[in-house]
């Protein structure tokens, strides 16, 4: 463990930029904290926090100058590693023939500043899908392989956070180069720093730092411990996969469908959803064509369209498919849950549908039915 003072963040930005990294991180724009390019620590959301609940997000001023004193906003890091729109190839007519030019993936050098533990777990899930399966996504690989991650231990949980339930936070444990814990005590503003890789240790050498004292390490640990008690939501995961499989025809799916707008907001803000579609475009002359890959959502009717029509035409079937895949069939497919407990799907749902409440309603009804059956048997 090491300590850097608040002013040393400028040296961190300089050290990363000297290594040709493009710095990306949180900044305030359009009434939210979003991820965008950073020129200096002055672009960070100093003194801002967020209040979140189902269908509710507001920025409010803090009573201190914390740089990372918020939860998570509408953006996730997947927009940079798994971009929303990618051109796959172009075709050009040449007389009676044509030639195809494949798109070369951008060899990006990103430095992510302020990555939370839940988001690190989301990146690890995408690594499993795009890098460590039978088929490697060249676009993801080109953007991922040179990535430098400056993680941040959460000092404040959001109203819809439940990372403790998913064992994905609030403390970062792996997948980072440097990890910061922000502390403000009296007039002092500093960070306890942990190195996660040799590359992170190398960058740290360019930043004014010193070894952390035992008291500073304890203060950093206390920040994370306090955050773990502030979760706005809880999801009971014991036997969850089997619970959902037993209740695939539960009446709760009809109840949630009566509220769901099938807008797809939950899939767009989710840091692990990765569904795409492919579209072809042609110019008016017919001489030039392009193929594009774009983000898609399982909440659209076209997404499940096959010869003869859409497989999932109702809001009931689409919401059930999303929740079942996220919390149950994803485990069969990828060996892990597809949910990291960030709470974005709850916050950014226009009608405040809460994934934790939907699971709890199914679990509660099953317990109630079991209790009633036991009472009937004893009568």
Looking at the fold, whether 30 and 153 belong to one and the same domain comes out as yes
Q: For residues 69 and 149, what is the distance between their CA atoms, to the nearest angstrom?
A: 19
Looking at the fold, whether 211 and 310 belong to one and the same domain comes out as no
Q: For residues 365 and 199, what is the distance between their CA atoms, to the nearest angstrom?
A: 51
Looking at the fold, whether 45 and 113 belong to one and the same domain comes out as yes
- On the 0-12 / 13-18 / 19+ scale of CB atoms within 10 A, 241 is middle
Classify residue 314: in a domain, yes or no. yes
Q: For residues 148 and 206, what is the distance between their CA atoms, to the nearest angstrom?
A: 15
Rounded to a whole number of angstroms, the CA Rg of the chain reads 23
Q: Are 326 and 267 in contact (CB under 8 A)?
A: no
Enclosing domain of residue 188: 2-85+106-228
Looking at the fold, whether 324 and 219 belong to one and the same domain comes out as no
Looking at the fold, whether 309 and 164 belong to one and the same domain comes out as no
**Cα 176 from chain centroid?**
15
Looking at the fold, whether 50 and 193 belong to one and the same domain comes out as yes
Classify residue 54: in a domain, yes or no. yes
- Find residue 111's DSSP bridge partners: 23, 148
Classify residue 50: in a domain, yes or no. yes
Classify residue 351: in a domain, yes or no. yes
Each residue's pLDDT expressed in tens, for the chain with a length of 379 residues: 999 999 999 999 999 999 999 999 999 999 999 999 999 999 999 999 999 999 999 999 999 999 999 999 999 999 999 999 999 999 999 888 999 999 998 889 999 999 999 999 999 999 999 999 889 999 999 999 999 999 999 999 999 999 999 999 999 999 999 999 999 998 899 999 999 999 999 999 999 999 999 999 999 999 999 999 999 999 999 999 999 999 999 999 999 999 999 999 999 999 999 999 999 999 999 899 999 999 999 999 999 988 888 899 999 999 999 999 999 999 999 999 999 999 999 999 999 999 999 999 999 999 888 777 766 665 5
pTM of the model: 0.93
In a 3-state reduction of DSSP, which class is residue 19? coil
């Amino acid at each position: 463990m090491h300590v850097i003072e608040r002013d040393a963040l400028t040296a961190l930005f300089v050290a990363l930029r000297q290594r040709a990294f493009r710095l990306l991180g949180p900044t305030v724009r359009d009434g939210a904290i979003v991820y965008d390019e950073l020129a200096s620590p002055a672009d960070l959301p100093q003194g801002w926090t967020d209040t979140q609940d189902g269908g509710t997000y507001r920025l409010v001023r803090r009573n201190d100058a914390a740089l990372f004193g918020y939860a998570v906003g509408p953006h996730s890091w997947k927009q940079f590693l798994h971009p929303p729109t990618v051109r796959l190839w172009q075709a050009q007519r040449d007389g009676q023939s044509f030639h195809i030019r494949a798109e070369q993936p951008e060899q990006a050098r990103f430095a992510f500043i302020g990555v939370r533990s839940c988001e690190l777990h989301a990146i690890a899930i995408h690594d499993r899908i795009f890098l460590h399966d039978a088929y490697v996504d060249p676009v993801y690989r080109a953007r991922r392989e040179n990535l430098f991650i400056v993680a941040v231990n959460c000092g404040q949980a959001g109203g819809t956070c439940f990372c403790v339930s998913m064992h994905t936070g609030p403390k970062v444990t792996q997948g980072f180069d440097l990890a910061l814990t922000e502390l403000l005590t009296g007039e002092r503003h500093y960070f306890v720093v942990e190195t996660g890789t040799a590359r992170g240790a190398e960058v740290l050498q360019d930043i004014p730092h010193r070894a952390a004292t035992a008291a500073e390490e304890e203060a950093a640990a206390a920040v994370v411990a306090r955050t773990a008690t502030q979760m706005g939501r809880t999801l009971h995961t014991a036997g969850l996969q089997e619970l959902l499989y037993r209740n695939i025809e539960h009446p709760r799916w009809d109840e949630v469908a009566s509220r769901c707008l099938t807008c797809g907001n939950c899939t767009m803000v989710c840091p692990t959803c990765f569904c795409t579609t492919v579209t072809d475009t042609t110019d008016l002359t017919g001489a030039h064509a392009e193929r594009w890959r774009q983000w898609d959502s399982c909440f659209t009717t076209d997404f499940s369209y096959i010869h003869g029509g859409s497989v999932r035409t109702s809001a009931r079937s689409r919401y059930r498919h999303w929740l079942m895949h996220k919390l149950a069939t994803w485990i069969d497919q990828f060996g892990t849950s597809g949910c990291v407990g960030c709470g974005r799907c709850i916050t950014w749902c226009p009608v405040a549908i809460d994934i934790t409440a939907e699971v709890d309603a199914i679990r509660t009804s099953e317990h109630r039915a079991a209790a009633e059956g036991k009472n009937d048997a004893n009568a």
